Amino acid sequence: MIRKLLLPGLIILCIRAYAGDGDYSVLKIAPALLKNANAVLRLEELRFEIVSPKHTVLKNHYVITILNENGDHWADFSEYYDKFQSIESVEGILYDAGGKQLKKIKKKDLEDLSGSSGSNLADDNRIKHHSFYYKVYPYTVEYIVETSTNGTLFFPQWSPQGSEKLSVESSTMSVVCPEEYQFRYKSFKYSGEPVITQEKNNKVTTWSAKEMPAIVKEPFSPLWHEITTVVILGPTEFQMDDYKGNMATWQDFGKFVYALKQGRDQLPDNVKQTVHQLTDGVSDPFEKISRLYQYMQSNTRYVSIQLGIGGWQPFDATYVSAKRYGDCKALTNYMYSLLKEAGINSYYTVIRAGKYANYITDDFPSQQFNHVILCVPRQNDTTWLECTSQTMPPGYLGDFTADRYGLLIDENGGKLVRTPRYGINENLQSRSVKAVLDDNGTLKIKTLTRYTGLQQDDIHGLINQLSKDKVKEYLHEQLDFATYDINQFEYKEEKRSLPAINESLEITVSNYATITGKRLFIAPNVMTRSYRKLSQDTARKYDIQLGYEYRDIDSVEIELPKGYETEAMPQDVTVSSRFGKYQCWVKLRENKLYYYRSMESYSGRFPAKDYNDLVKFYEAVYKADRNKVVLVKNETSAPQKAF
């Protein structure tokens, strides 16, 4: 703890004690680059050679000094390889604080690990990994790595500061390609233009950066490329395996994706018959879609398959029908095939999925996607289908793929569209609490809570993936009570385009209220409290980015032991700001406490100068959520029986 508090002063003392005069002596790091840094990138030389539309070579020479244990992950080397990418060579050297060489890695020092995740049935990804496991700070590692790729679907990006608390002495990125080859690039937070030179018959395009102090990422910051230098690259003509394409436009890129799936929509006769049994005679298009989607969910399961071109090309519908499994590409193509047999048009749609990955550079066509879903247009609406889920309702996407760009694919190519956004009117939590407090401070609670939209996502996963015992364990971890028992819990789902989950809980909480002499202290907000607290920051640099909108409403009724009167009652609270709106009040009527709470959280982008207003808003909510009622007992009254 003392070491952390003394940084960077302690680092400088250590440097003076141990550093020598080697090229990578820590003494040579400018003091400004030590501030807020866990590591310093001393040197980075990236050289990306486009040999042909089918072959590239990436050479990466980098040196990084690790200042403390929080920077250790920068010292580890990991590189994927598979059918398309091979690791040609790896060199690694360890230096002490003075820049003296301590160790050089040998080929046997490299670990060869599987790169497959647990959900992958088949995967040719592997990883070369190495760590010096050195813990004498500061120290420096140097790696020189060369990889070769058969295919040009993916180009690297240049981001000298890979994440926060990394400072940079010098970094360069060079793209080497034949004079006639046209690659594309887009730069963020980079002043000027790259330098273009000649090297034999090739042109060399180079970006460079020097003396970049470490960034400390602020709460609710914008995306990384809005904060620091990033350059993304993309091909024009490219090739993967025997499939050629062009990425000059989204339409062109879509033609390549279409070619990968073309002709893979043939169903076996028995499945065709099932399709017609399910849909013939049904007039409502959405009902047809729902029946076929439920059939697909009931008869397949998701398994990732990442072998060769199969990492990008779907297995055909016949394969999925026979094996009853597939990855996102295969299952989406299978659902597309089922709908096609029923005479319903749909679009295979590539998308960038992930809870916090709802961004692509929409004006820069390139491979920025990692998932596939299905779009089914209807006369007055559109139905989206997540084909990897066996439990989601038709028409709902959730936070994995909602509110982002997807590339619709057909025979004419690709077209960018936006998936549905779930806002404050969809993301609701409405809770009714009825409770009885006994003379010992024990509170018996019955709650009914309705979750809709994104508010039900986590609970949907919980109740569909875990056993009842595991769900109870989860509830025990989540509920904010000191000592309590869950007597009963139940969940009921409403599977619609905007799904809902109704939760019923019965809980007994010991010592919920504090009874001291004649006084009773009780928090009327029983179940829904904000935990967000931020620190004031008068030097805020970056805009505030809020992305998740929701509304919570709580109505609470607490029956008290008889004979208590009000001594202190919290004032009604209303807090309105551009970030949200909060209201709560509490009343005592005929031996019952009535409490109401409403919280609305808004999305949007706000200037850095408004940050302390955001801090005050959350602070006011945090405080109001913990207000207590103080009651005093009238000794002439009889005690109340609990239910």
pLDDT tens figures, 39-59: 999 999 999 999 998 999 999
* Count of other CB atoms within 10 angstroms of residue 47: 17
Give the DSSP letter of residue 487.
E
pLDDT greater than 80 at residue 20: no
Q: Tell if the pTM clears 0.85, that is, is over it.
A: yes
Q: Which residues are CB-contacts of 404 (< 8 A; sequence separation ≥ 6)?
A: 351, 352, 357, 358, 359, 360, 418, 419
Closest CA to 183 of 199, 197, 204: 204
- The H-or-E segment that residue 407 falls in is strand 405-410
Q: 146-163: per-residue pLDDT in tens? A: 999 999 999 999 999 999
Distance of CA 494 to the CA centre of its chain: 26
- Confidence band of 17 (pLDDT split at 50, 70, 90): very low
- pLDDT average, residue stretch 28-40: 98
Average pLDDT, the chain: 92
CA separation for the pair 446, 507 (Å, rounded): 7
Q: What is the pLDDT of residue 12?
A: 39
pLDDT per residue as tens digits for the range 502-550: 999 999 999 999 999 999 999 999 999 999 999 999 899 999 999 999 9
Cis peptide bond N-terminal to 138, omega within 30: yes
Q: Is the pLDDT of residue 2 over 60?
A: no
Min mean pLDDT across 4-13, 539-548, 633-642 is at 4-13
pLDDT of res. 107: 81
Q: What is the pLDDT of residues 248-268, one digit of tens each?
A: 999 999 999 999 999 999 999
> Alpha-carbon torsion 318, 323, 329, 335, what sign?
positive
Q: Which two tokens stand for residue 600?
A: 């609305």
Q: Does the pLDDT value for residue 120 go beyond 80?
A: no
Distance of CA 361 to the CA centre of its chain: 17
Q: Which domains does the chain have, with CATH numbers?
A: 2-240 (2.60.40.3140), 249-418 (3.10.620.30), 428-633 (2.60.120.1130)
The one-letter code for the residue type at 583 is: Q
pLDDT at 18 over 60: no
| Helix H or strand E segment including 477 | helix 468-478
Give the pLDDT score at 310.
57
pLDDT reading at 118 higher than 80 = no
Asked whether the bond before 160 is cis by omega within 30 degrees of 0, the reply is no
Beta-strand ranges (E) seen in 111-201 are 111-114, 120-123, 126-130, 139-150, 157-158, 166-178, 184-188, 195-199
Q: Mean pLDDT, to the nearest integer, of 184-211?
A: 96
The answer on pLDDT for 328 being more than 60 is: yes
The rounded distance, in Å, linking the Cα atoms of 466 and 548 is: 26
Report residue 636's pLDDT band, with 50, 70 and 90 as the boundaries: low
Rg (CA), the chain: 30
- Indicate the pLDDT class of residue 83, thresholds 50, 70 and 90: confident
Q: Could you report the per-residue pLDDT of 455-503, keeping only the tens digit for each?
A: 999 999 999 999 999 999 999 888 989 999 999 999 999 999 999 999 9
Q: What is the pLDDT of residue 84?
A: 87
Q: Quick one: average pLDDT of 547-570?
A: 95
b/e sequence 212-245, b meaning 16+ C-beta within 10 Å: bebbeebebbeebbebbbbbbbbbbbbbbbebeb
